[in-house]
Structure 1
Amino acid sequence: MTGYYDYTLVAASFVIAVLASYSALYFGAQLVTLEQAKARLWLVLGALTMGTGVWVMHFVGMQAYVMPMEMSYDLTITLISWVAAVGASGLALHIIGKDRAGALQIVIGSLFMGGGITSMHYVGMAAMEMEPGMRYDPVLFSASVVIAVGASGVAMFICRRLQSIQGLKGTALQLGAALAMGVAICGMHYTGMAAMIYPENAMPAADNLLSGDWLGAPLALVSGVLILIALYASANDVKQRRNAEIQALEESQRVERKALYDSTTELPNRASLANHLVRELARSEADKHAFAVLYLEVANHREIPDNQAEDAIAALARSVRAALDGGTYLARHSTSAFVLLVTNPAHDKHRDMYQRLRNLPTETDGGVTLELRAGQSVFPNSGRNSRMLMKKAMETLELRKLGLASLNEEVKSADYFEARSALPET
């Protein structure tokens, strides 16, 4: 007995296979990132989506083969074939969703999943209950099993590899993998169809309840819509989770910034300065690196009206920042003072910076007059810890005395000049 293929339904079966494959890859890629309770829900949803898709693809492919008689199927056996497809899909997704799945787990999963797909296919074929019964070509039958197991293994391997890839690249790779899996699934199905040998005058059992008319295009359409709805709902859930992660990260950064940065000047605050100074001391001890601590304060801060004080400090911070050389660290130490860390401070390259600092404006746009004083210390001559360096720097003098001349008085010892000469000229 011979028939022919309706290529419209063949194409429809391929589309369903691709959608089912994409849903499997999509759900599998998300399982690792989910908490346990939600992972179970997605595992069930993924198994239903993929399993039903593969099952529908099978019956659409069956209906694509047009026979001389009307095809029908036993309801109970057909449902058993659906359970086999969903169970195999669930097992595969469970293995894929593990934090660690080595080669042995993937091989075992491939055998179970391939066996489940093969069982679904041949149980679905048996649902026709032909009289006299069908036979199978052993070579093509074996080939269909190998294709099912191989396709399952490739699918699971690809899904594991795609779990770490996000964004457009991940979507493109998932789509390409789904197309390849769709070809493999259809290859298995149509190889199995080719293995089937119909006896002459064979007919489906008269008591079969499912007509082939319901297992072709209508089932393909309904299944395709359901898969797309599941993917849309899942994608929306992923989007919400990612938005929540972004908001949590932004909140964490906001809290961290609030803890480490001054809100008025947006400069590092005293806590940040302390951390930076400790790191600078450790680095300097290791490579004989010299640096200066400059302390700049508004001596008349208490005389400035409260409603103008912060604006005046913010204006001063902008002026100080504009005067600095690249690489100079600036932080707000207190309500009335700033601290600067200057690398290789006695180098002539800083001469213009010191001049700009000495010429900082003392009148703000709000009409406030600032009385600025400054002090400085040098590592290692003024001290080898942050307390000693800060104590020395806080011995402030008139701003006009800030600069290389006072630094040279501070760094007369030979060890500092040796360290200075070892630094590259920049």
Structure 2
Amino acid sequence: MNGHYNGMTVLLSFLIAAAVSYSALSLANKISRESGKSQRAWLVSGSCVVGVGVWSMHFVGMLSFHMRVAVDYNPLITLLSIAAGITASFIAFRFTTVSEASIRRVIPAGFFMGSAILAMHYFGTAAIKPPILVSYRYQDIPPAILIAYAACYGTLYLFRRARNTPSIHMPMKMLYASMLGLTICGIHYLALEATEFRLDQTNGPQMLDYMAESEPFLLVGVAIATFVLLAISSGVIFFDRNVLERMAYTDSLTSLPNRHHLTRYFESSFPGKESGFLLFIDLDRFKTINDTLGHDAGDLLIKEVAIRLKEASSGDQTVFRLGGDEFLIASAKGREPEASALADVIIAGIKRPYSILGNEIYVTSSIGISLAPEHGMNRTMLLKAADMAMYRAKGAGKNQYKLFDKETDRLLVRKMELERDLRKALVNEELEVYYQPKWDAESNHVSGMEALIRWNHPRLGVVMPSEFIPIAEETGLIVAMTRWMIHEVCRQNTAWQSLDLLHICISVNMSIRVFESGLLGEMVEEALQETGIKPDNLELEITETIAMYDLQDTIKQLKQLKQLGVRISMDDFGTGYSSLGSLDELPIDALKIDRLFIRQSDLTSKQAIISAIITIAGQLNLEVIAEGVETEEQMSFLKSRGCRVMQGYYYGKPMNAKDIEKWLEQPDNSKQIKQIQLSDQ
């Protein structure tokens, strides 16, 4: 049966194919950037939209072939045709989510996609009901099949380009869409040329020359529905990319790219194969400004800093806000000289005064620099390196920058190793308590001891508290360690008293994290009950930092401890926060003069401070203890100013329990104390 093509309908089918292709490229890019449930939702919905769109083009193409007779379709087979179109779209989109497109993946993906496209067409023609009969010229089918498979492999290639090039320019994207549209139309019309339509002579002659009135309405309806569907799809993608995506990947306060955007940046814009650097920027004293002037002032300060960072950066340098007072500048080009020069500009720019809510504010910054590829090739490694270098800058005095180096790397590895092993130290009984005597210089006898913790690492040897205590505080392990130490000190003191070796008070240092836990009272009461030690034989040493962190809560907890009968002393007095105004409110029994003052006690100014502390302690009926006494001159000076209890190497180094017992067996003669051979482990 002869038929002919309607030119306007053919053009409409091409426009539909091009519009579908354009939406497919946008969806391919979107699907490739999503993950998890979000990616699966976009994959399914995108496959349905594009599959129905491609099928609609096929249907309009069928309508463009006028056969001068009404055409009716089998609904079930038509649905199978739609399902084949959706399946082909699903295969194409699923392929874009694969990170590596090897030949083993490309060949089967193109084959199954081409098969689904061909199935869609031939299911569509097979759905035509009598009196029209469909047959095929099999010699004309192979070209259609070859073009279908070639077109599918080309589509997969363009989809990969869409994945790897997130920001395809509009003209190029329209060119890709037009190419895909022509290909899809070519497959359809070439396959249609290999199809023959015959009229059933028994029922069909009376229908010849009958132009179906419903056909134009059907054509317009399908075209409108398809364009509406594609318009909705495009609108959703536009809203997601320009509204939701902006909200997800942009910091709301500064409008800078945020931490989520940084991940995308490293995937697309930071190859780091030849050069590149990160600057990790942290503001100094920001918490103090936030606490004193309020969060509104803090937010305004962050916005001003962001403006200055954007002004300092240029070219390939991108500024991110990671959160709080942390910023990052990433550059895909540049070496150490460029990074150092930028860091100098930023430090100078940030420390200029700010006018915030009528206040003139000064703030500085600490910056860590990491280089690619020397310090890593991915986001995690480079961020960690820059972060470590930044903390080195803070530790070195702030308001400066540091470049990540091998020493920083070594310290990082050691810290991670210590943190890992510290979690097992208690269980493996690697912790040990050392004791340093407190000497009463007037009565010439031991008046007490201070307990100090040591870590006997099975591989690294003795690890000093200055190295592992900060790690314990960061991880919260300090609470369990303090519980163990209080119990161990009470147990050891009870043992010495039962042997009649000592009847003294032993002090234990406290951490601010223990006070924050609210468990200190429970720890002390538990240790006293289990060991049976008298409460006044246990002393807890707090620092000024602990005392002033939350004064009212500290006073409350200290009063509870005093009700148990234990002693309280303030360690390192004069070196922390100024606590003179609240000293009389704290329920303490003793002040300890910091070793810093004792070490410089030959200076007139330090002598005046020491004398003032001793006087204050006397006026408040507090015992005073001098730490760090190492020479006879220091001892003589302290005695002359009224300090009788001293602690330091002049009288004895920190010793474990066995060495303390040996030390106690020596004759009670102060002149002989220094000559005793002690273990200095």
TM-score by length of 1: 0.58
CA contact (8 A) 2:131 2:203 kept: yes
CA contact (8 A) 1:147 1:188 kept: yes
Corresponding residue for residue 26 of structure 2: 26
C-alpha offsets along residues 175-212 of structure 1, whole Å, 9 cap, x if unaligned?
Answer: 2111101000000000011111123556999xxxxx64
CA contact (8 A) 2:23 2:234 kept: yes
SS at match of 1:2: coil
Query: Could you tell me which of 312, 319, 326 is aligned with 1:255?
Result: 326
Q: CA deviation at 1:141?
A: 1.4
C-alpha offsets along residues 257-304 of structure 1, whole Å, 9 cap, x if unaligned?
Answer: 79999868988535674434888x99xxxxxxxxxxxxxxxxxxxxxx
Q: How does 1:286-365 map to 2 (within 5 A)?
A: none
- AA aligned to 1:94 is R
- AA aligned to 1:185 is I
* TM-aligned CA distance change 1:128 to 1:157, over 3 Å: same
Higher relative contact order (CA 8 A, sep 6+): 1
Aligned equivalents of 1:144, 1:220: Cα separation in 2: 25
SS at match of 1:223: helix
- AA aligned to 1:41 is A
Matched, 1:231 2:234: yes
Q: CA deviation at 1:47?
A: 0.4
* TM-aligned CA distance change 1:113 to 1:271, over 3 Å: closer
CA contact (8 A) 1:56 1:219 kept: yes
Aligned equivalents of 2:126, 2:404: Cα separation in 1: 77
Aligned equivalents of 1:204, 1:260: Cα separation in 2: 93
- AA aligned to 2:236 is A
C-alpha offsets along residues 125-144 of structure 1, whole Å, 9 cap, x if unaligned?
Answer: 00003457322122321211
* TM-aligned CA distance change 1:112 to 1:31, over 3 Å: same
Q: How does 1:22-171 map to 2 (within 5 A)?
A: 22-131=22-131, 133-167=133-167, 169-171=168-170
* TM-aligned CA distance change 1:204 to 1:177, over 3 Å: farther
Q: CA deviation at 1:170?
A: 3.5
Matched, 1:185 2:190: no
Corresponding residue for residue 247 of structure 2: 244
* TM-aligned CA distance change 1:251 to 1:39, over 3 Å: same
CA contact (8 A) 2:74 2:129 kept: yes
Aligned equivalents of 1:204, 1:7: Cα separation in 2: 30
Aligned equivalents of 2:60, 2:202: Cα separation in 1: 19
Matched, 1:269 2:360: no
Structure 2, unaligned runs of 5 or more: 205-213, 252-319, 329-348, 357-361, 369-398, 409-681
* TM-aligned CA distance change 1:28 to 1:216, over 3 Å: same
SS at match of 2:250: helix
C-alpha offsets along residues 309-328 of structure 1, whole Å, 9 cap, x if unaligned?
Answer: xxxxxxxxxxxxxxxxxxxx
Aligned equivalents of 1:203, 1:12: Cα separation in 2: 35
CA contact (8 A) 1:88 1:112 kept: yes
* TM-aligned CA distance change 1:262 to 1:151, over 3 Å: farther
Q: How many residue pairs end up in the alignment? A: 277
CA contact (8 A) 1:128 1:204 kept: no
Corresponding residue for residue 362 of structure 1: none
Structure 1, unaligned runs of 5 or more: 206-210, 283-426
Q: CA deviation at 1:217?
A: 2.1
Give the structure with the higher percent strand.
Answer: 2
- AA aligned to 2:86 is V
Aligned equivalents of 2:246, 2:51: Cα separation in 1: 30
- Identity within the alignment, %: 26
Aligned equivalents of 2:171, 2:31: Cα separation in 1: 19
Aligned equivalents of 2:404, 2:38: Cα separation in 1: 45
CA contact (8 A) 1:106 1:157 kept: no
Aligned equivalents of 2:14, 2:94: Cα separation in 1: 25
- AA aligned to 2:222 is L
* TM-aligned CA distance change 1:200 to 1:256, over 3 Å: closer
Corresponding residue for residue 224 of structure 2: 221
Corresponding residue for residue 194 of structure 2: 195
CA contact (8 A) 1:73 1:212 kept: no
* TM-aligned CA distance change 1:254 to 1:247, over 3 Å: farther
Aligned equivalents of 2:59, 2:149: Cα separation in 1: 20
SS at match of 1:147: helix
* TM-aligned CA distance change 1:218 to 1:26, over 3 Å: same
- AA aligned to 1:188 is I
* TM-aligned CA distance change 1:253 to 1:245, over 3 Å: farther
* TM-aligned CA distance change 1:75 to 1:5, over 3 Å: same
Give the structure with the higher percent helix.
Answer: 1
Q: Which has the larger radius of gyration?
A: 2
TM-score by length of 2: 0.37
Aligned equivalents of 1:278, 1:128: Cα separation in 2: 72
- AA aligned to 2:33 is T
Corresponding residue for residue 417 of structure 2: none
Aligned equivalents of 1:132, 1:112: Cα separation in 2: 30
* TM-aligned CA distance change 1:58 to 1:132, over 3 Å: closer
SS at match of 2:143: helix
Q: How does 1:387-406 map to 2 (within 5 A)?
A: none
C-alpha offsets along residues 186-241 of structure 1, whole Å, 9 cap, x if unaligned?
Answer: 00000011111123556999xxxxx6455422101111111111111112112234
Matched, 1:174 2:210: no
Aligned equivalents of 1:128, 1:204: Cα separation in 2: 15
Q: CA deviation at 1:164?
A: 2.6
CA contact (8 A) 1:81 1:120 kept: yes
Q: CA deviation at 1:30?
A: 1.4
C-alpha offsets along residues 10-67 of structure 1, whole Å, 9 cap, x if unaligned?
Answer: 1111111111111221111111211211111111111011100110001100001111
Q: CA deviation at 1:103?
A: 3.0
- AA aligned to 1:275 is Y
Aligned equivalents of 1:76, 1:276: Cα separation in 2: 71
- AA aligned to 1:256 is F
CA contact (8 A) 1:9 1:64 kept: yes
* TM-aligned CA distance change 1:254 to 1:202, over 3 Å: farther
CA contact (8 A) 2:321 2:327 kept: no
C-alpha offsets along residues 157-179 of structure 1, whole Å, 9 cap, x if unaligned?
Answer: 11101223233x44332221111
